[in-house]
Chain A
Amino acid sequence: MIRLRDIEKSFKTGAGETFVLRRISGEVQKGEFVTIMGPSGAGKSTLLSILGMLDGDWRGEYYLFGEPVHAMKPRARIELNKRYIGFVFQQYHLLDDLTVYENLEIPLSYRNVKRKEREAIVADALDRFQIVGKKDLYPSQLSGGQQQLVAVARAIIAEPSMILADEPTGSLHSSQGRMIMDLLKQLNREGTTIVQVTHNEEYAAYGDRIIQLRDGWIVEE
């Protein structure tokens, strides 16, 4: 599903070039649950951003479902992102001015799904995540766990093939964290590929395999 070859990212600095990622190569198979770990500054989130096409400034080769992302223009990358990828962030990143319902609806709206169809899909998601009663609440009216629940629901609402989760439990209590990880695992069992970044050994174990990064290099896989 994902094939990376010699991915590098660096910044020009006064002293020369500072590398964030060095010669990252590897593959992620369809239906895998992969965990990326490493100390702060290792390049975990940057790698996730490149996978999710949030970052376009890197070198190397990246194939997603056989399509060469590295050769694509930004607009084509956005289309690819919309077709295959859902995001879960550590800080949930729900849109404060939108209700739970509208937060779930927005990825569908960006994919030009018709209104009637959107209503049906959002209703299903609300039901599935058992948050029907909260559909008219704003994010500020929800607990952290509830917000992340909505964020996961939002990430999968457009039925992406892959969820990229950047420390999805980083801001949650342990019980809430476990609930989210169970949810991700269940989604994975249902066929969704998951790549998560985490510092937490317990949650890392939810994955099928762990990639260790340090100073931009893959040190263990």
Chain B
Amino acid sequence: MDQLLSDIRHALRHLRRAPLFALVAGTSLAIGVGVNAGLFSAVNALLLRPVPGVDHPERVVEVGRSNQGRGFDTFAYPDYLDLKSEVRAFRTAAAYTFDVFAYSDGGEGSRVTGMSVTPEYFSVMGLTPERGRFFTADEDAPGSRPTVAVVSHDFWMDRLGGGVDVVGKIIRINRIAFQIVGVTPADFRGQTTGVHPEVYVPLRMRPALRNRGEEDFTNRGASWHMMVARLAPGATVQEADTQVKAVYARLAQAYPRTNRNRSGAVVPLGLVPGPGRGPVKAFLSVLMGLAALILLVTCANVAGMFVARASHREKEIAVRLALGAGRARLVRQLLVEALVVFAVGGVVGTAVGVMLVRSLPVNRLPLPIHVSIDLSPQAPVLAFALALTLGTGLLFGLLPAMQATRLELTDSLRDNGSTQGGRAGLMRRFFVGGQVGLSLVLLASAGFFLRALDRAGQVDTGFDPRDGYVTGIDLDLEGYRGEESAALQQRVLERVRALPGVESAAMSADLPLDMSRMGTGVMPEGWTPPEGQRGLGTDFTYVSTDYFATLKIPILHGRAFVETDDVSSEPVIVVSRTFVDQVWPGEDGLGRQVQVEGDHEPWRTVVGVVADVKGRFITDRPEPMMYLPLEQNPHQRMDVVVRAKGGIATVAPALRSAILGVDPSLSLNPVLSLESSSSLGIFPQRLAAGLTTALGSLALLLSALGVYGVVAYALSRRVREMGVRMALGAGSTRLALLVLRNGLGLALPGMLLGLPAIVVLGFVLRAFLLGLSPLDPVALVVVPGTLLITVAAACAAPARRAVRLHPMEALRSE
């Protein structure tokens, strides 16, 4: 221990005497560790952290429904009841759904995040009420109308003032009065990351809140429930999964019309819900892979610096060996020095990385509800950063330390210069070559994503978001029903269209590129479904008149909806080009009829065909799309979209005031530009492009530093040789080329190894690249070219020094 402390003391003294070395190495490592710690804090927050506040969260599972073995979807309520009673591996199970509620305390309404839950939900989560009670079995009885609510601790504190009389208080949710019966504990902020439910209501109240009938509790075709369960003592997730599948196999036979091809899956409870976990994991894995590359680049850079430094300290090391130090002792001392640098870099990097990730504007994403992800530093993040720092410190500190102590003592103690120049030089070349190769891969990934982002700007999304603005009204939340709703929507449209500067305005239940889509099955006239398929799967939305004009979606055949497409006229639809191409190839589709799956659905006539628009993401392939006129198909939750001049600062208040002029108590979604709302569709590309560009630039800089360091060092050892060459008649160009060749010789092996890695990377990232070829010339030519130019630039200063050497001084050099 005494010796270790002494080693640490000496290491700190060495670093104080070499502040530039300490600064460059420490900063380099801080970048490498910081990027990894920051990203890992996101991985921890989204994928690894147990759900806070849940009792024994490892015993809680999510249950999802699959279709033909794929997906993790919502359930029909009768299926939930069967699973709950038949799966022995569940101790208890609960059905729930996420909701957005309109909460009003008398003034302008506001949106709150809520959940409709069966009473078992709280016991599945293992919660004890902070105040009052949770729901009872009576409040889940068929036909009951339990107007009771449980609120979150934060809601109680922030919205209700935190008074002790919270239980018994009346709040209005979707204009219905609810009595608060309990408060959830402070440490439970919901089961899903980013979404913190504020109000819980009994699931039995959802029909009343959503203006729906009771049939959702009996119809096996109405799948909108999610399910969680707590495992029975001793039961495993695998057993539960097997039993859920067995129940679904029975249901498929008993109810083939609704349950054919359906099955179930069980996964442990996680902060990212089951359906999203796969894509989030894939995306974060790619990012962590890139972060690991930058760490390797920084470590290679620092290891190269340690090798160079050890060369300068060769005599000191030789003296220590001559004085009786064992090699192991010296390796330990050098390793401690390396670990001190790694530790400083690791601590600074972790702090900055975690801080930067925490400052990411997650809560400013253009979403209708407030999203906040807890990215506060957790023990696993700190443990990860510590392990990373120690692991890389040991690995990349040990190699140079072992190299440094392999000396020919006799020569080292004489003033004969380095005896390990060859081996150390080889090791530095290895590190720099590795750095260049890894940098190439990082730069290429940045190139791929930037090209994809550029392509996203050129991709024909099928609509024009410029000068478009959007907000949303959910009349379910506002207590409007039937004709009252249609009348309000009509009045809203009239007022908005009358605003100065508004070219057109419309409503739609769904907008392009907002990450969501509604889907259904249809039977087109004269179309034979493929074997095993009952109808055509199509996305759909409800739109008002002027929708296609407002979004500038081109009409290819026929017409858009008009005022006369109302309940008194023939049911009509507009479909997309892909819809027509799939079911009526070679035709324009006009006049053909389509029936939506369902017992009483009418045949609807196609009156128009429009261009394809992108659905959820910019990477989506064109899918069949069907538009139904709002006037014939009343819908409560609609986006209001306007095309107007003047910018968001002018349009947003005018739009809000026009809508609230119809009913001041309405709770509106925030007004966003259509460009901002549709930017969600390219969010993954944008994030990846931003990160990889930053990481790639860093790697480029570090590689340039690494090459510069080795070339400059090599030159310092070859000064006398340069003098001889000059004396023999070598011109300055020849000397400069000699230095340049040295630099390029370092970079080329790394680049040659990096090139095949780029092609592999291109194939790995293909899903994100909007059709960009993995053999993209930018990645394969421009990126390596840029790296070569940078390497050449890094050689410029040493080359300049070489040509400015004075021959006589160079010849006298030791």
**Chain A interface (Cβ within 8 Å of chain B)?**
45-46, 49, 52, 54-55, 75, 78, 81-82, 87, 89, 91, 93, 95-98, 106-107, 109-111, 115, 154, 158, 166
Contact = CB atoms under 8 A, between A and B. Distances in A.
Contacts of B161: none
B747 to A, nearest CB: 32
15 contacts: A45-B410, A46-B410, A52-B322, A54-B322, A55-B410, A78-B324, A93-B315, A97-B10, A98-B10, A106-B320, A106-B325, A110-B323, A110-B325, A158-B324, A166-B413
Interface residues of B, number: 25
A106 B319 CA distance: 11
Interface of B: prevailing SS:
helix
B3 interface: yes
Given A97-B14, A109-B3, A154 B410 contact: no
The 3 closest A-B CB pairs, nearest first, are A82-B324, A54-B409, A49-B410
B324 A93 contact: no
B415 A91 contact: yes
Contacts of B326: 75, 78, 110
B324 A111 contact: yes
B17 A87 contact: no
B318 to A, nearest CB: 8
Contacts of A111: 324
A97 B13 contact: yes
A106 B317 CA distance: 13
A110 B414 contact: no
Contacts of B315: 93
Given A110-B329, A111-B324, 12 more contacts: A45-B410, A49-B410, A54-B322, A54-B409, A54-B410, A93-B315, A95-B320, A97-B13, A97-B316, A106-B325, A109-B3, A110-B324
B414 A95 contact: no
B2 interface: yes
B804 to A, nearest CB: 30
Nearest to A87: B322
A24 B329 CA distance: 33
B319 to A, nearest CB: 4
B258 interface: no
Nearest to A164: B322
B791 to A, nearest CB: 34
Nearest to B326: A78
B3 to A, nearest CB: 7
B319 A93 contact: yes
Interface in B1-49: 2-3, 6, 10, 13-14, 17
A45 B323 contact: no
Interface centre among A93, A111, A115 (most CB of B within 10 A): A93
A106 B316 contact: no
B326 to A, nearest CB: 6
A55 B6 CA distance: 29
A66 to B, nearest CB: 21
A78 B322 CA distance: 9
A95 B329 contact: no
Interface centre among A82, A96, A97 (most CB of B within 10 A): A97
Nearest to A105: B6
B414 A107 contact: no
Contacts of B3: 109
Nearest to A50: B410
Contact of A49 (B2, B329, B409): B409
A45 B415 CA distance: 13
Contacts of B329: 110
Nearest to A157: B323
Contacts of B2: 115
A97 B17 contact: yes
B328 to A, nearest CB: 9
A152 B316 CA distance: 17
A75 to B, nearest CB: 7
Contacts of A54: 321-322, 409-410, 413
A55 B324 contact: no
A87 B315 CA distance: 15
Interface string B405-432: 0001110011100000000000000000
A111 B414 CA distance: 25
Interface in B306-365: 315-316, 319-327, 329
Contact of A107 (B10, B323, B327): B323
A89 B321 CA distance: 14
Contacts of A45: 410, 414
Contacts of B327: 78
A163 B322 CA distance: 12
A195 to B, nearest CB: 15
B412 to A, nearest CB: 9
A87 B413 CA distance: 11
A96 B316 CA distance: 8
Contacts of B408: 55
A54 B2 CA distance: 27
Contact of B409 (A55, A75, A106, A107): A55
Nearest to A96: B316
Contacts of B320: 95, 106, 110
A107 B324 contact: yes
A17 B316 CA distance: 31
A104 B325 CA distance: 14
A52 B316 CA distance: 17
Interface centre among B324, B325, B414 (most CB of A within 10 A): B324
Contact of B323 (A49, A87, A97): A87
